[in-house]
Structure 1
Amino acid sequence: MALEKSKNYFFGWKNVKWFLTEIMNMYSAKKSFFSKKRIESGVAFVIAQWGMIYFLLEKISKMTSSDLAIWVGIEFAVSGYIINHIQKEKTLPDAA
Structure 2
Amino acid sequence: MADYRYRLRIKANYEDVTVFSNGPASHGEATEVSADLVAVTSATLLVHELRIAAIIGVDELVKAMNLVLQHSSGESAGGMAHRRDLHDRLS
- What interval of TM-score do these two structures reach, taking the shorter chain for normalisation? 0.3 to 0.5
TM-score by length of 1: 0.37
Whose relative contact order is higher, 1 or 2, with alpha carbons under 8 Å and at least 6 apart? 2
Greater helix proportion: 2
Q: Which has the larger radius of gyration?
A: 1
TM-score, normalised by the number of residues in structure 2? 0.38
